[in-house]
Amino acid sequence: QSVLTQPASVSGSPGQSITISCTGTSSDVGGHDYVSWYQQHPGKAPKLMIYDVTNRPSGVSSRFSGSKSGNTASLTISGLQAEDEADYYCKSFSSNTIYVFGSGTTVTVL
Amino acid sequence: EVQLLQSGGGLVQPGGSQRLSCAASGFTFGIYAMSWVRQAPGKGLEWVSAISGNGDYTYYADSVKGRFTISRDNSKDTLYLQMNSLRADDTAVYFCAKKCSFACHRFDPWGQGSLVTVSS
């Protein structure tokens, strides 16, 4: 099935900022403001971190922020902490397939 | 507290069937759409199916269309996924997730996951 394109891995030192990209098409990321981001620790269920491109659910740290430009959405983690080490997935509403997930990005804190 | 507690899963032979359940608590189940998402071992997330709050509307990924059926019993606050004609590539952890209300598309929270292994 079609997936949104994410980098396989991103790393950073504690305190640094990192950005994860999520590239789709005009049928999904570019055509709707319904991009969300999920954090998944090993063996755990995914957790919602960002929704509707830029919104943060209550309880999620303000160090997490989202944005979008054209067909690419981005998740930025500022002030990187050891607990941020996890897999991150973007998801978009799609005119073609209802929902499509990104390929996933492993964040490593050096 | 909103909770989704999953049951079902296990080992099933190719061509067999399996039903997953997802019991909801802490919210008015019948007014929220629900979804199933799966994750093959070592792989990424794949959206599988969704159902409207009243059950009138259902949606499926092409990979499961015609083989899987999503349903819900609002009197029991429970979501189901009936999986038939299972194949090896259906082996995955299956998660249920609560979707927000009309015209929004975030999944929050998620169930703990149920492992389905299709193998002879």
Mean pLDDT value across chain B: 96
Burial class (CB in 10 A: 0-12, 13-18, 19+), B41: exposed
Residue B2 has pLDDT above 90, yes or no: yes
Question: What is the residue-wise DSSP string for B92-111?
Answer: EEEEEEEE-STT---EEEE-
Dihedral sign (CA A56, A43, A72, A99):
negative
Tokens of B96: 């249920």
Using one digit for the tens of pLDDT, what is the confidence trace for A5-48?
999 999 999 999 999 999 999 999 999 999 999 999 999 999 99
Q: Count the neighbouring beta carbons within 10 Å of the beta carbon of residue A59.
A: 7
Q: Is B5 on the interface with A (CB under 8 A)?
A: no
- Give the nearest partner residue to A48 out of B44, B47, B106, using CB atoms: B106
Burial class (CB in 10 A: 0-12, 13-18, 19+), B19: middle
Choose among B44, B105, B53, B108: nearest CA to A94: B105
pLDDT band at residue B102 under the 50/70/90 scheme:
confident
pLDDT band at residue A105 under the 50/70/90 scheme:
very high
Residue A97 has pLDDT above 90, yes or no: no
pLDDT band at residue A106 under the 50/70/90 scheme:
very high
- CA-based nearest distance A43→chain B, Å: 9
Phi/psi of residue B90, each to 5°?
A: -90, -5
pLDDT band at residue A1 under the 50/70/90 scheme:
low
Q: Percent of chain A beyond pLDDT 90?
A: 95
B-chain CB neighbours of A89 within 8 Å are: 44-45
